[in-house]
Amino acid sequence: MNTKTTSDYATPSLMRRFAAMVYDSLLIVAVSILYGAIMTGINVAIKGAPEPGERITWGMFGVVVFIGWILTVGLFFCYFWHKSGQTLGMKTWRMKIVNSDDLNCPGYTQCVIRFLCAPLSFCLIGAGYWLMYANTERQTLHDKISKTRTLLLSKEKK
């Protein structure tokens, strides 16, 4: 029986991680446009269409829309991380997120923690990402906090 552990896998480089983020950001833009169109439609349905040449006013509904957008983006990442450990960008660049202890996909709590901490890793010129070069397990700040690991998968034979 061949049982692998997380230490049997390589860790993706910083450039590979950023390449996957660029790929995923294109998907997030598409999801955000769809979300914005739906929210604009709801706003117009509730408040009515603005006069020609006028902008749509959001009022306090704007705060609700912004929070809903954050939740939508979080749901996108958490769903894919929990379901398969990979977003489409991660799949393209052969990366997978797993529990620190085993090769299982992270739980929803770990995914939410990771989603909330990832922007912190990006702050200060990506300090949380550069942390991966300062520890032996090559984990980023959000990997450590969420108790997950990002693995580099081997190429599949065609």
pLDDT per residue as tens digits for the range 82-141 = 999 999 999 999 999 999 888 899 999 999 999 999 998 888 888 999 999 998 888 999
Write the pLDDT tens digit of every residue in 17-74: 999 999 999 999 999 999 999 999 999 999 999 899 999 889 888 999 999 999 999 9
pLDDT for position 135:
87
Which token pair is 122? 């990006």
Q: How far apart are CA 85 and CA 96, in angstroms?
A: 5
pTM of the model: 0.87
Locate 13 and state its tokens.
């480089």
Q: What is the spatial distance between Cα 102 and Cα 148, in angstroms, rounded to a whole number?
A: 9
| Residues 84-97 pLDDT 10s | 999 999 999 999 99
Tokens 């299982």 sit on residue? 104
Torsion of CA 123, 15, 18, 96, to 10 degrees: -110
User: Token pair for residue 66?
Assistant: 């912004």
Phi/psi of residue 31, nearest 5 degrees: -65, -40
Question: The tokens 């065609």 sit on which residue?
Answer: 158
